[in-house]
Amino acid sequence: MSGGPQAAAIPTRVRYLIIALVFVITSLNYADRSTFSIAGASASDELGLTTIETGFILSAFAWAYAAAQIPGGALLDRFGTRPVYIAAIAAWSAFTAVQGFVGFLTGASVIVQLFVLRFLVGFCEAPSFPGNARIVAAWFPARERGTASAIFNSAQYFSLVAFAPLMGWIVHVFGWRSVFFVMGALGILAAIAFAAFIRNPVNHPWVNRAEIDLIREGGGLVELDTPSDKARDKTFTWNNVRQLLANRMMIGIYLGQYCINVLTYFFVTWFPIYLVRDRGFDILHAGFVAAVPAICGFLGGLVGGIVSDRLLARTGSITLARKAPLLGGMLLASLIMAAAYVESQWGVILLMSLAFFGKGVASLGWAVMSDVAPRQLAGLAGGVFNTFGNAAGIVTPIVVGLLVAQAGSFDTALLFVGIHCLLTIVAYFVVVQKLERLELTA
């Protein structure tokens, strides 16, 4: 046919399907880590858990998640994204489902059972975000990475939009244990979908040469996971880790991710409980109300990515394109502190919505990592980045639990979270200077 060569020259758009599937899987990822936040009030009452005990249980996920980031990133670099990610989804989904049997299991107290199971969920989820960053680095040219990274990162908000009402309804109708069974089953389906559709660009049967060339010419690492990549055997060395930790730019990025994740972990751990205990919502309504700021965070994430990519297209400056949305977003996110001084329920929801919209706009950390990570260490660099970021998941649930137990309300906890929004600005504008890809020395 005469139109054949011309049609073949038009790039396919498989990368958009890939990022859509990554978005769905990441939404399930966040839903699984927030299951106990939704089930927590009912589970705590039935199991007799105190506020401080609940805080430690909520933090269990992040202890393992943070500790396993560097090994998880190294595994991704060594074995490739696809096999490691598939195994991770299946494993964390299985451990999510088992949490529904807590109290019926023997050999340990309920607190120990919950802590261990949430610890194992965190351990198995560790490769997910470094894996997402590798997928974006392989499938997207530089000019599209901000939007692509914002899409998968905004899944943390969409997760509560889609799943908080669902999980709240399940708890209300079927009891808190049912949440874990349903989310575990959905995770197994996600693992099957990933195995069926996710491939490296050069190996994907639906991609044509024009799309591969478009990605490659735009700086995409289309052969990142090919078997011929000999650099895999040398990805994890202490010299490589030292170079990542000794670079001023990387230190600032790591610190910024820690600070911004204080707000993230408040949202996915204590926020629904805050709505029930401090603001008078019942668990069914709390699930729906929590979706309002989540929608704003989701929209903010998309806005931040699109604005960042447009700034990059107009100015050619990655530094300006990534930092400008972060500054505006974090200033807006710091409004969370004002919720401590507002009495009305909907006034609090309005402030939370503005705060999470701002946090979404500023959530460009993974786009920054795709821009600056050494080419041969995309997984390891992402693992180190996420280790620092998710250390906030260890600190935040415990500190918030202690502050609430001491003050009898969430007011000082909200101040704690808001101050970290301002510290994110300090990290990126005082510590980080020019953003550019890090080149390793021998």
CATH number for position 324: 1.20.1250.20
Q: Quick one: tokens of 105?
A: 């299991």
**340 in any annotated domain:** yes
List, in order, residues 6 or more apart from 277 with CB less than 8 Å away: 41, 410
DSSP 61-84: HHHHHHHTHHHHHHHHHHH-HHHH
C-beta neighbour count of 438 within 10 angstroms: 16
H or E element, residue 125:
helix 110-125
Residue type, 33: R
Look up residue 438 and give its DSSP letter: P
**216 in any annotated domain:** yes
**219 exposed, middle or buried (CB, 10 Å; 0-12, 13-18, 19+)?**
middle
* Half-sphere exposure for 88 (CA within 13 Å, toward CB): 31
Q: Closest Cα to residue 186, out of 88, 288, 89?
A: 89
Residue 36's SS3 state is helix
Gap between the Cα atoms of 327 and 323, Å rounded:
6
Gap between the Cα atoms of 370 and 146, Å rounded:
9
Q: Quick one: tokens of 248?
A: 């001023």
Alpha helices of 281-431 — where are they, by DSSP H?
283-289, 291-315, 318-333, 345-362, 365-372, 378-407, 411-426
Gap between the Cα atoms of 324 and 414, Å rounded:
25
Gap between the Cα atoms of 80 and 225, Å rounded:
5
Angle at 68 between CA 364 and CA 78, to 5 degrees: 85
Q: How many domains does the chain have?
A: 1
pLDDT given for residue 2 in this prediction: 39
pLDDT given for residue 230 in this prediction: 46
Gap between the Cα atoms of 135 and 137, Å rounded:
5
C-beta neighbour count of 13 within 10 angstroms: 12
Gap between the Cα atoms of 44 and 299, Å rounded:
33
Gap between the Cα atoms of 438 and 250, Å rounded:
9
**227 in any annotated domain:** no
**436 in any annotated domain:** no
pLDDT given for residue 280 in this prediction: 66
Q: Closest Cα to residue 324, out of 430, 254, 438, 428?
A: 428
**353 in any annotated domain:** yes
**3 in any annotated domain:** no
Show pLDDT as tens, one digit a residue, over the chain (442 residues): 334 444 457 888 889 999 999 999 998 888 887 787 777 667 777 777 777 777 778 778 878 887 888 888 778 878 888 899 999 999 999 999 988 888 776 656 778 888 888 899 989 998 888 888 888 888 888 788 878 888 887 787 788 777 877 888 888 888 888 888 998 999 999 999 998 888 888 888 888 888 888 888 877 777 776 655 544 445 667 777 788 888 899 999 999 999 999 988 888 777 777 777 777 676 666 667 777 888 888 889 889 988 998 898 899 888 999 999 999 999 999 999 988 888 787 888 888 889 989 998 998 887 888 788 887 676 678 778 888 888 887 888 888 888 888 877 788 889 999 999 999 999 999 999 888 888 777 6
Gap between the Cα atoms of 212 and 93, Å rounded:
33
Q: Is 0.95 topped by the overall pTM? A: no
CA 323 centroid distance within chain: 19
pLDDT given for residue 236 in this prediction: 64
Gap between the Cα atoms of 352 and 279, Å rounded:
13
Instruction: Specify whether the CB–CB gap between 201 and 215 falls below 8 A.
Output: yes
**4 in any annotated domain:** no
pLDDT given for residue 1 in this prediction: 38
**5 in any annotated domain:** no
Which range marks the domain in which residue 412 is found?
12-222+234-431
